[in-house]
Structure 1
Amino acid sequence: VFIYAMTNDDRVKEAMINLLMFEKWGLKFHSIGIFENQEELNRKTLAKFTDICEKGFSNLPGNRDRLLKYIRETAGIAAA
């Protein structure tokens, strides 16, 4: 599981490059993108990222429980 915390367009672009390389190398992985504030990102950059990343969360504070649930399900871990 690769988790990317993204604060701006540059971080999103770096994450996209990483994910595209992992795909090119044939790695099997799950990817999660967490945005500091998704509304502030360039729409074109965000659209490209959502094509590549498996799951995205618009912010951490409002999605903490959903994120933890998703990680547990993806990793096959039972909830505590």
Structure 2
Amino acid sequence: MVFGVKYCGGCNPRYNRTSFFDTVKKRCPETEFQYVQPETVYDHLLVICGCPSRCADISKIQVDGDIFNISEESQLEQLIMEIKQR
């Protein structure tokens, strides 16, 4: 299972997105994460936005499964639980 990872532009981050993603990777070692590339189809997509506007453009990203759109640090535990269920 491969999760594509997309960050927003970072114009108004309200938490440390890199630290957030590092925690996700450490707690989900069985999951493969790849930064999104054109023409690649991902099983699921993780969009890491820095604020509630969730402005990251994902319109051209191909994904077969779920899209997890994160906009605040408090979503960490729920996200990890969802990833582990996949």
Length-normalised TM-score, structure 2: 0.45
Which protein is richer in strand relative to its size?
Answer: 2
Which protein is richer in helix relative to its size?
Answer: 1
Higher RCO, 1 vs 2 (CA within 8 Å, ≥6 residues apart):
2
Length-normalised TM-score, structure 1: 0.48
